[in-house]
Amino acid sequence: MTKTRAILRAIFGIHQHHEPATRRRAASRSVMMRVTLDAQHVTPLRRALTRDCAGQPWTIRIATLPHTERVQLSLYLPKDAVNGAIQQVTRIAPAAQFGHLFEIPDTPTDGWRDLLRATSWAQAASALRPAKPAAKAGDDEVDTLDRLLSARNVLLDADIADRDVLFAQLGAFCESRYGVPASRVIDGLNSREALGSTGLGQGVAVPHSQIAGLFSAVVLYVRPRVPLDFDAPDARPVSDVIALFVPEGANTMHLNLLADVAQRFCDQHFRQRLHECGSAGEVCRLFANAGEPSGAPSPSQSPVPHAAARGGASSAQLRA
């Protein structure tokens, strides 16, 4: 447990010191932390967090783990409250397990909401399956980033001036490789972008669309030579683009791929290793071998959304 706490603090730059109360109250909610623990510990933990986060916006969401006495909590907390929350969890539930940690932008785009909804949906669907069946051709479960991404779909140091040029190149690529009209791909990307930027922050964007006439899912990874402006919530230019295209109406496939993006690209260590890849082959090997982020629950532990309990000054704006 001590090692886990040290890792979490290192990831988010959290140090053991006490912030002035006025500063704590002014902080914005910016981290989602998942914790698995015995159900009996939920009430005392919620009381402790209510006291510790007084005057700050925070939310706790509860999901049951089927056939167990344990639950998974999704805690939405101000960044400077995470250290205290880790200490409370350790004190109240020493056997607790820490899972995903996502650093959420202060002003998240619809792209973030896509990912969080997809992650929640994929976990719920996984929990309903008692065992993973053998993969079959065309089965949605085989459609993961590592299976779909090939070296020919990795574009490194691409000469791309802006988002329009990126979409044009993605359209031309899909037309050449998959026989889908470039205009249809471009229109799909622009329509999705009109709903809100798919820039996630931290230099990552995930443009995605369902495309009529496409018969299988397509994943492309693009690293522009010069980072692109993408209207990201943190205003940082984008250096990592993971583009997703699925057949029209393939909602399950679409959600599974978005969930896969969330699990990988919300992990800063994965992003760092990705930036170190110097060839398309290295990128594909990283996707194939990286697995889930450290501490991520296995499919058998994934929860079915059950209940949400709110606390603090305001309710959550993001739905997990």
Tell me the catalytic residues. Answer: 208
- Using CB atoms within 10 Å of the CB of residue 247, give its burial: 0 to 12 exposed, 13 to 18 middle, 19+ buried: middle
C-alpha span between 121 and 247 (Å, rounded) = 19
Cα dihedral 251/253/255/258 (nearest 10): -140
Q: Which of 244, 44, 272, 8 is nearest to 144 (CA)?
A: 244
* Rounded to 5°, angle at Cα 37 from 33 and 41: 105
d(CA 267, CA 202): 11
Hey, what are 96's tokens?
Answer: 């607790």
Q: Is 276 exposed, middle or buried (0-12, 13-18, 19+ CB in 10 A)?
A: exposed
A 10 A CB-CB count for 161 gives: 11
Instruction: For residue 71, count CB atoms less than 10 angstroms from its CB and return exposed for 0-12, middle for 13-18, buried for 19 or more.
Output: buried
Give the H or E element holding residue 137. none
